[in-house]
Structures are given as structure tokens and as C-alpha cells.
């Protein structure tokens, strides 16, 4: 069975403000993670810095991701960036991030369409799922997240599904400084895998990479990295400081040894 190589992906969101700062951050991440083994490292800059960061990191060990993509192939979609435009540039594209679901109204159906566009273009989707606080409080987190996974994988073949990375990101933990607990994250990630088992098979459920995201820092990552079934992290705020981000990746790699 395929080994699950952990992934630590930095979601830079709407940062940094200049191209030179973006390249400085990319340089810092590349240099600070160069010696790490047993973990894949990636950065997802805003679209406008993607070509420069891709040029800069080409041939290095750091993967580049886009933070989103448009669900249509082409056409009159102002502000849109298509999978075809990203093809050949990025290895990953984040789809279904809760901020995009919230701010731009992405539905499960649109997330499914984006995921399929990425796959068709040879880009690995990094699918985000996660429940709001009221769902967690009501004890329905597992069912909520399973439904998001089910919808995102609608009409996706098993061979395509094997190329998707999933990030479990409880909405209430994103950017709040209050991460989930390790056991709660492990349980919900197990629910994600249970859904993959129902929808596909044991092999996929066991080999899919599933990350945790939400207020991950160098101080909090260990709790998640040591949970069975969690294969790294999607990191927002702490990914803007190369040394912190590299430390997170190092701790993820260490937890696997
Ligand atoms: P955070 O963001 O690490 O700043 O909480 C995580 C994310 O939104 O992917």
C-alpha cells in the first residue's frame, strides 16, 4: 500500500503585499526546509504572486499551490482564474476553503466542480472541509464533514480520488488562535476516512492524505502530528514566518519517525 507522505502547506491568504516580500518568504521557506526529509513542503501564494514564486521555486523541493481556481473552463468570469491557466505552474490548488465558501458563496456543488477541474488539468486538489462551531456543539461534526466529503467527491473516479489531499479545518479554529484538540481532530479525520471507505474502498481510505488545519503553530502542531491518520497541516498565519513554518514541517517529520 502507498505510504502517506506528510504534507505541510502554507496558505498565505491575502499576504504578503509586495512581490519582493513574496519572494523573500519563498526564499526563507526554501532555505529553512532544505534539509528536511520525510515531509513534503508547499506554499500557496495569492494568484498575483504565483508565477513569480513558481519561477523562483522551480526545481526546488518546495511545491506551489494556488489558493483557489474557477469552476468553469473559460468565459466571461471577471476575476476568475481557470485550471488551464494554472496548469504547468502549480502542483496543488486549494478548493473549498471555508473563507471562500463564506465570502464567495462556494457551495458543495461548486467545490465539486472545482475539484474536477483541477483533476482534469493535472493539478492536485487540496480539499478543505470543516464544521462551524454550532455543528460541533450539537455533536454533529462527523456527519457534517462526511456530507462535505461525499458532495466534493461526487462523480470522481477512484483513480482521480487518489490524487486528492483533504484538509480537515474546523471553521472555529481558523485564525482564532484556538486549535481543535488532537483527539477531536483524530476522530473527525477518522470520519473523513470512513466516508472514503463507503464511497470507494479500504485502500483509498487508508492511503489518502488528510491534514489538519486551524491555528497550527510550532507550539500546537505536535498534538496533531502525533495523531494516527493525520498527515501534516494546512497552515495560515504561521506560514508567513519562514522559521515558524519550517519548525512545523520539522515537527511533522519528527512525529513520523
Ligand atoms: P490559520 O489558518 O492557521 O491562520 O488558522 C488556517 C487556514 O485557513 O488554512
Q: Mind listing the pLDDT tens digit for each residue in 40-91?
A: 999 999 999 999 999 999 999 999 999 999 999 999 999 999 999 999 999 9
**Residues 89-128 as b or e (16 or more Cβ within 10 Å = b):** bbbbbbbbbbbbbeeeebebebbbbbbbbbbebebbbbbb
With a cut of 90, say whether residue 100 has pLDDT above it: yes
Q: So what's the pLDDT on residue 3?
A: 85
* Ligand 1 geometric centre to CA of 250 (Å): 18
With a cut of 90, say whether residue 2 has pLDDT above it: no
Q: Residue 218 — φ and ψ, nearest 5°?
A: -65, -25
Mean per-residue pLDDT over the chain, rounded = 97
Q: So what's the pLDDT on residue 219?
A: 97
* Ligand 1 geometric centre to CA of 257 (Å): 26
Per-residue pLDDT tens for 182-195? Answer: 999 999 999 999 99
With a cut of 80, say whether residue 142 has pLDDT above it: yes
Q: So what's the pLDDT on residue 210?
A: 98
Q: At what angle do helices 19-33 and 50-57 cross, to 10 degrees?
A: 30
Q: So what's the pLDDT on residue 165?
A: 98
Q: So what's the pLDDT on residue 58?
A: 97
User: Catalytic: which of 40, 131, 169, 195?
Assistant: 169
Measuring from atom 3 of ligand 1, which residue has the nearest CA?
236
Q: So what's the pLDDT on residue 150?
A: 98
70 catalytic residue (yes or no)? no
257 — pLDDT class (breaks 50, 70, 90): confident
169 catalytic residue (yes or no)? yes
Per-residue pLDDT tens for 16-50? Answer: 999 999 999 999 999 999 999 999 999 999 999 99
Measuring from atom 2 of ligand 1, which residue has the nearest CA?
236
Q: What is the pTM of this model?
A: 0.98
Strand positions, DSSP E, 79-180:
92-95, 124-129, 165-168
Cell of 238: 504561521
* Ligand 1 geometric centre to CA of 116 (Å): 24
Amino acid at each position: 500500500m502507498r505510504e502517506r507522505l506528510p504534507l505541510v502547506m502554507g496558505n498565505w491568504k491575502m499576504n504578503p503585499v509586495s512581490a519582493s516580500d513574496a519572494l523573500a518568504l519563498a526564499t526563507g521557506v526554501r532555505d529553512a526546509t532544505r534539509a528536511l526529509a520525510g515531509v513534503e513542503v508547499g506554499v500557496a501564494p495569492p494568484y498575483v504572486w504565483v508565477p513569480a514564486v513558481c519561477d523562483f521555486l522551480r526545481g526546488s523541493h518546495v511545491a506551489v499551490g494556488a489558493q483557489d481556481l474557477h469552476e468553469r473552463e473559460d468565459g466571461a468570469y471577471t476575476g476568475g482564474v481557470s485550471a488551464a491557466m494554472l496548469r504547468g505552474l502549480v502542483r496543488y490548488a486549494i478548493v473549498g476553503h471555508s473563507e471562500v465558501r463564506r465570502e464567495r458563496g462556494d457551495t458543495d456543488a461548486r467545490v465539486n466542480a472545482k475539484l474536477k477541474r483541477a483533476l482534469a488539468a493535472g493539478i492536485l486538489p487540496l480539499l478543505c472541509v470543516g464544521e462551524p462551531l454550532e455543528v460541533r456543539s450539537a455533536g454533529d461534526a462527523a456527519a457534517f464533514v462526511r456530507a462535505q466529503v461525499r458532495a466534493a467527491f461526487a462523480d470522481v473516479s477512484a483513480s482521480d480520488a487518489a490524487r486528492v489531499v483533504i484538509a480537515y479545518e474546523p471553521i472555529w479554529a481558523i485564525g482564532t488562535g484556538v486549535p481543535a484538540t488532537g483527539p477531536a481532530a483524530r476522530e473527525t479525520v477518522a470520519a473523513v476516512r470512513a466516508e472514503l471507505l463507503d464511497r470507494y474502498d479500504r485502500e483509498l481510505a487508508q492511503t489518502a492524505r488528510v491534514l489538519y488545519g486551524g491555528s497550527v503553530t510550532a507550539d500546537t502542531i505536535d498534538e496533531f502530528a502525533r495523531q494516527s491518520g493525520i498527515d501534516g497541516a494546512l497552515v495560515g498565519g504561521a506560514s508567513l514566518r519562514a522559521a515558524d513554518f519550517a519548525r512545523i514541517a520539522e515537527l511533522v517529520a519528527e512525529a513520523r519517525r
